[in-house]
Structure 1
């Protein structure tokens, strides 16, 4: 039995909407803000909100929930391999996006974009099928999947099924400091045509700080995860800790998923597989399928980028960094959440 969707979904102010559509060319219709937090999503969400909210979680689901560019893909591959007895052969053969579907990706594939991609790939049945796949609502895809399901989402917890943490499935939430998130997300927004960002980083930061880009607001998202960290069905991780000590993270995830501990050799092999130098060159995790159908812009940084703490320094001017720090400090007043800090020199 479906639950009534509990939030208002309001169209963005039209003047602001037109401005954002000029800068983010992937969306063609506009954006909405959802509920009291004003979650920022494409207008397509308005008609589908209840269907996403009412997906029925299964006890053996495994979810990776993150704000974008917080180590999501890294975490997915780690989780999938531990849950599948280190089946590297399958992980290399089947792209991650097929093993671990992205719940709401279809919201960002506007109908006009789908038509463009279908035209671009005319005559190639395999590519046309992929275009159709990424255009299908995630709740339809997941309802047809056999268990156990592996599910990626950037939705905040409050927009996910309300019984998600109660049915026994496992939820991994990964958080990353906002300056690194913003720089990484900026480059992704330039790379992927569903976003199609055309501006520079300072202008992008304006959108980021003012909660005017997909899945914002950042602080509400991360604090929701943090406030649920003691739930036995959730494991809350910091990207910074993962980056600093991957073997320790591997063992922590294995315990959380209730799998047998990895021996030293197994943990070392998995850490090597996930090492950023190898990960960056792994076509199964690098969205190569999306590049093949024309969904990635040429001349931009790759989907898997630097994979290190402190890369924000490459885009922030001293003045912009000070402004960001003031914003961070203001938001930190309302939570005991603190990001790990490591020497990045």
Structure 2
């Protein structure tokens, strides 16, 4: 049964809306996506048969996706148990190594043939858990979800799309859209909640904790994947500076998404929202978190960290 807030959302929000960056969004099963991603999600549910050895890296946009891809790829590369011939990151952006299920594998013009990908197959998705096949829960495949404080998530998203599309929308207007959920894969709070409630089978990681304790978290990820790996080597290879430098070596190269490689790396810090959001805006996010996550055991305290600001 839907909560009163979900019932209210159904009444107050239209099935379609124009987003402030790149056009139309459709509301499907409570989330906002471009129509082609909705079609892709249906294809995934119908045709994706996860293997027990599959690894799915899930995230809301701008919550640490690139870093999680890099870490997982490096863990597999340096593992003594998987014997992976996975592409390495010496001259590649992490997004070139790990494909999106809803774009490169099951999108409108897929560039990857799923049956030709060697095991362990590693995929990424921004789709909510409810958009994935039920067999993800029963196949034995491993799902890792990374999330980030909503304030820093929003600021990173705002910067990316301003730089990518040259938009002139004010931060207040963009913030209002974020709070309404009218961003890719939004609403943010519902997206995080779905994976939080599946922690019995999903490894739930926060960007802040990964930043504060990288070796501890890399070890945790490796153990979850059943790997014995060179933790210190993985942390060093996947440092923000190393990944950004590799990206710079690509020059003016552009990823298939239309994003320049250097746009995937901005600051890589915790708490940058303090340079952009007012206390009033932060209070709005806190109130939303309380409303959306009430009774779940999830709150903004999961993002508390001693990492340097």
Q: Is the 8 A contact 1:39 1:217 kept in 2?
A: yes
Q: 2:26 aligns with which of 32, 55, 64?
A: 32
Where does the alignment leave 5 or more consecutive residues of structure 2 unmatched?
Answer: 1-12, 80-84
Cα gap change, 1:88 to 1:51, in 2 (>3 Å): closer
Cα gap change, 1:332 to 1:323, in 2 (>3 Å): same
Q: Is the 8 A contact 1:91 1:284 kept in 2?
A: no
Q: CA deviation at 1:82?
A: 1.0
Q: Distance in 2 between matches of 1:88 and 1:169?
A: 17
Name the structure 2 match of 1:296: 259
Q: Is the 8 A contact 2:55 2:142 kept in 1?
A: yes
SS at match of 1:90: coil
Q: CA deviation at 1:244?
A: 0.4
Name the structure 2 match of 1:248: 216
Q: Distance in 1 between matches of 2:191 and 2:251?
A: 25
Name the structure 2 match of 1:146: 118
Q: Is the 8 A contact 1:70 1:176 kept in 2?
A: yes
Q: Is the 8 A contact 2:254 2:260 kept in 1?
A: no
Q: CA deviation at 1:221?
A: 1.0
Q: 1:218 aligns with which of 174, 177, 188?
A: 188
Q: Deviations over 1:78-125 (max 9, x none)?
A: 111111226898321344223210222469xxxxxxxxxxxxxxxxxx
Q: Is the 8 A contact 2:91 2:246 kept in 1?
A: no
Q: Deviations over 1:154-182 (max 9, x none)?
A: 10110012111211211111121111111
Cα gap change, 1:169 to 1:286, in 2 (>3 Å): farther
Q: Distance in 1 between matches of 2:37 and 2:238?
A: 34
Aligned length: 288
Name the structure 2 match of 1:306: 267
1:336 is the counterpart of 2:308 = no
SS at match of 1:281: helix
CA RMSD of aligned residues (A): 3.1
1:175 is the counterpart of 2:147 = yes
Q: Distance in 2 between matches of 1:246 and 1:197?
A: 35
Name the structure 2 match of 1:118: none
Q: Is the 8 A contact 1:60 1:147 kept in 2?
A: yes
Normalising by structure 1, what TM-score? 0.74
Normalising by structure 2, what TM-score? 0.81
SS at match of 2:143: strand
Q: How does 1:179-198 map to 2 (within 5 A)?
A: 179-193=151-165, 197-198=167-168
Where does the alignment leave 5 or more consecutive residues of structure 1 unmatched?
Answer: 1-11, 108-132
Q: Deviations over 1:173-212 (max 9, x none)?
A: 112111111111111222345xx75412211111110011
Q: Distance in 1 between matches of 2:179 and 2:69?
A: 27
Name the structure 2 match of 1:158: 130
SS at match of 1:171: strand
Q: 1:57 aligns with which of 50, 75, 85?
A: 50
